Structure 1
Amino acid sequence: MRRERGIRESLGSIVLGFELIVLFLGTLVAWGLHSAPAAIVIGGGAFLIVLAIIAMLTLRYRYGTWIGFAVQVLAIVAGIWVHMMFIVGALFLAIWIYAMYSADKVERLKASRAQNDPQLNETENPQ
């Protein structure tokens, strides 16, 4: 039986999944523009991609969210080499903050409804 994923984990995975594509393409752009030595560009891009994957895999825990925030901040910092990353990174940071805030709000609402409606608990967990 599969574990049920929370809303935070689902939304975070979606945001990070799209960001993986952007990070890969940003790495290729930085490499093509010769913004820095190739080893630094490829190594930095690979580091960000691996960090995003780690964040996706650990989103069920609170520290996974913080790793996701680190990915967002580092994506903005990548704007030093590819200036459009300032804008793209800021957009992804805004999306990340909104997704995490919305997920927390929905989780609190679900918990409140489950606590206030005992019949809801019986239909979700039949015995």
Structure 2
Amino acid sequence: MRSIIFFGQTGKFTWRMLATVLGGQSICILLGALVARGVAASGDAGARGTAYLVVGFGLGALCVVAAGTLRRPWGVTLGWVVHALTLLSALVVPMMLVVGLFFLALWITCLVKGTQIDGEMARRAAAEADPAADRVDG
């Protein structure tokens, strides 16, 4: 589990995968914000519906910002914060718990597999640069 990081830079392939996860998550969050507004508007709390919509759109925008900052060391930390806030949004729309857990599983998978792929790509690049390093004298 050494490849699960909370702060620091990732490889090129890893941050691309993580950015894709956050991009998909932003779409689901925006749709969840519309659901929260619709549910609140159908009840007596009409003013709360607008607040849910604004906060949901803000969280969706934060997903996009986090996807854009993944090249920086604190970008991964911002991604973790977005996932925590997505799980927290389940207090308003309970199905957001399913969405949050799904994207959290994708996030962790991309961190683990992306790190492995980046390591393999670095190993292959080093082998191409020095073909004699792969030979075993015997």
Task: Report the number of matched residues.
Answer: 116
Match of 2:81 in 1: 70
TM superposition shift of 1:103: 1.2
Structure 1 outlier segments of 4+, above 3 Å: none
Q: Which amino acid aligns with 1:91?
A: F
RMSD (Å), alpha carbons: 2.0
Q: TM-score, normalised by structure 2?
A: 0.75
Calculate percent identity across the aligned residue pairs.
Answer: 30
Which residue of 1 is the match for residue 3 of structure 2?
none
Contact between 2:36 and 2:52, CA under 8 Å: does it hold in 1?
yes
For structure 1, which segment, 29-38 or 94-103, has the greater mean C-alpha deviation from structure 2 after superposition? 29-38
More helix by share: 1
Q: Tell me, yes or no, if structure 1 residue 31 matches structure 2 residue 42.
A: no
Partner in structure 2 of residue 123 of structure 1: none
Given that 1:19 and 1:92 are in contact with CA atoms closer than 8 Å, whether structure 2 keeps it comes out as: yes
Contact in 2 for aligned 1:8/1:59 (Cα 8 Å): no
Counterpart Cα distance in 1 of 2:30 and 2:54: 12
Shift of 1:102: 1.2
Q: For residue 23 of structure 2, what is the aligned residue in structure 1?
A: 17
Contact 1:31/1:38 (<8 A) preserved: yes
Aligned partner (choices 103, 109, 112) of residue 123 of structure 2? 112
Length-normalised TM-score, structure 1: 0.81
Give the equivalent residue in structure 2 for 1:42: 53
Using CA pairs under 8 Å that are at least 6 residues apart, name the structure with larger relative contact order, 1 or 2: 2
Q: Which sections of structure 2, spanning at least 5 residues, go unmatched? A: 1-10, 132-138
